[in-house]
């Protein structure tokens, strides 16, 4: 029998244990390093976006429909606002109408197109001649209105224009056209080009004073002519006076008896047998605030009445038409700042209301319908109070019509803050944090 005196195998077991401990240590270290990296990643990664719900706002009616008092019988009418493109007219106002001395508004603008005047400027002086006296006699012979043309007297360009418009002086209209353009053919050629350039394509001018029945226009073009007149300082100033004083001529009264009465500021009368009694008028009226109270702000109505039977009827029809739209220009509040429009919810459950950043109001003539659309609302988190996250746009349809704009927008903002949910939420929601 052989006896093995070798020592026991202890050292290999120690090596195996050390290897296991080393592996465990490495594993733990790796886990710790991984956990640390995950923690750092979770702590520094951007938070997921909040989700928004914006309330649906249905169409909102604004104001009341216009109901102009149109002329009866053979007269026709139309009306608009100075800062509004819409023209409302009586049902029988379509087609071309003889415009009589409203033609002189075109003459004034044509003269000023050739020889413009600055505010307060009188322009060159223009002497009267024997030719003017002969032309005046011819106009008187056919029943036309005139002012004196004394030999040796000279009036400024502004004074002649004022006399033509205020007194409806046919002889002053002829003189101005010839002075500015040399002869009537050149004047009429330039006038046709000017009418086209200003969108007055449904207006025909055949003389400078309106005595001929071939001076015709659609009422929409007459309204636009009135707006052009008020945009010109010389014309707007001239037609606003009920009385003027011309050197060596004397006091001249306006043929429009409404001037200076209850806001009427112009513009031009007219009469021929074919045209009847006509008036292109302007009137300032107060704009009502949100409470229906008249404030200091005004709006200017432009209107026209054609074909009245007398001076008195012309004035009455014009006044009634203008009166019928008093109070129809109004400021409407349609959304108040702070109105809740929806909610913004963070993925961890916190909520903040979404509100309108500011008031929304619109100046409306007559009625309209407000329609609302919201832009997509997206927002990273966290969120500070007052953060703009989208826009709400209101558009005005079926309008009679908003005078400010066809649409307005307001920011949608957060009412309160959405704060960081903290590290624990970040660590426990990896699918939300990292997708």
Active site residues: 101, 104, 168
Parallel/antiparallel/unpaired status of strands 360-365 and 329-335:
antiparallel
Q: Within 13 Å, how many C-alpha atoms sit on residue 391's CB side?
A: 7
Q: How far apart are CA 48 and CA 432, in angstroms?
A: 7
- Token pair of 63 as six digits: 């104001």
Specify the residue for token string 């020889």: 115
Residue 188: Cβ within 10 Å count = 17
Residue 268, annotated as binding a ligand: yes
Q: How far is CA 33 from CA 26, 41, 426, 428, in A?
A: 10, 12, 18, 18
**Is residue 198 exposed (0-12), middle (13-18) or buried (19+ Cβ within 10 Å)?**
middle
DSSP E strand boundaries for 243-366: 243-246, 250-253, 264-272, 276-288, 294-308, 329-335, 340-345, 351-356, 360-365
DSSP E strand boundaries for 195-242: 203-204, 216-217
- Token pair of 44 as six digits: 């520094």
Q: Which residues contact 314 (CB under 8 A, 6 or more apart)?
A: 269, 277, 278, 279, 305, 308
Q: Which residues contact 174 (CB under 8 A, 6 or more apart)?
A: 135, 139, 208, 209
Sheet holding 51-54, edge to edge: 51-54, 340-345, 351-356, 407-414, 388-397, 367-374, 60-63
Q: Which residues contact 409 (CB under 8 A, 6 or more apart)?
A: 391, 392, 393, 394
Annotated binding site for substrate: 268
């Amino acid at each position: 029998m052989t006896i093995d005196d070798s020592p026991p195998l202890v050292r290999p077991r120690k090596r195996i244990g050390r290897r296991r401990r080393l592996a465990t240590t490495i594993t733990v270290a790796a886990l710790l390093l991984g956990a640390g990296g995950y923690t750092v990643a979770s702590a520094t990664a951007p938070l997921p976006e909040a989700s928004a719900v914006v309330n649906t706002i249905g169409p909102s009616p604004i104001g009341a429909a216009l109901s102009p008092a149109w002329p009866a019988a053979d007269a026709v009418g139309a009306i608009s606002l100075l800062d509004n493109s819409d023209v409302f007219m009586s049902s029988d106002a379509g087609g071309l109408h003889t415009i009589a001395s409203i033609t002189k508004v075109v003459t004034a603008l044509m003269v000023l197109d050739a020889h413009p005047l600055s505010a307060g400027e009188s322009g060159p002086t223009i002497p009267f001649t024997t030719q003017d006296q002969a032309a005046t006699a011819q106009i008187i012979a056919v029943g036309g209105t005139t002012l004196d043309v004394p030999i040796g007297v000279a009036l400024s360009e502004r004074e002649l224009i004022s006399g033509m418009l205020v007194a409806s002086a046919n002889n002053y209209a002829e003189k101005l056209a010839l002075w500015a353009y040399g002869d009537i053919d050149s004047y009429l050629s330039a006038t046709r080009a000017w009418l086209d350039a200003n969108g007055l394509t449904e207006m025909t001018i055949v003389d400078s004073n309106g005595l001929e029945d071939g001076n015709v226009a659609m009422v929409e073009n007459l309204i636009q002519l009135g707006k052009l007149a008020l945009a010109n300082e010389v014309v707007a100033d001239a037609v606003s006076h009920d009385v003027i004083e011309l050197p060596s001529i004397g006091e001249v009264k306006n043929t429009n008896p409404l001037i200076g009465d209850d806001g009427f500021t112009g513009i031009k009368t007219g009469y021929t047998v074919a045209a009847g009694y006509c008036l292109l008028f302007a009137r300032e009226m107060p704009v009502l605030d949100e409470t229906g109270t008249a404030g200091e702000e005004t709006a200017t109505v432009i209107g026209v009445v054609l074909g009245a039977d007398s001076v008195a009827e012309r004035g009455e029809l014009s006044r009634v038409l203008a009166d019928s739209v008093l109070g129809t220009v109004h400021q409407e509040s349609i959304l108040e700042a702070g109105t809740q429009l929806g909610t913004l919810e963070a993925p961890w459950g916190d909520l903040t209301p979404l509100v309108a950043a500011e008031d929304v109001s619109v100046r409306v003539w007559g009625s309209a319908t407000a329609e609302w659309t919201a832009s997509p609302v997206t927002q990273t988190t966290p969120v500070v109070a007052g953060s703009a996250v989208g826009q709400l746009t209101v558009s005005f349809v079926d309008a009679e019509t908003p005078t400010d704009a066809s649409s307005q927008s307001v920011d949608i903002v957060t009412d309160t803050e959405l704060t960081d949910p903290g590290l624990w939420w970040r660590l426990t929601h990896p699918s939300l944090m990292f997708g």
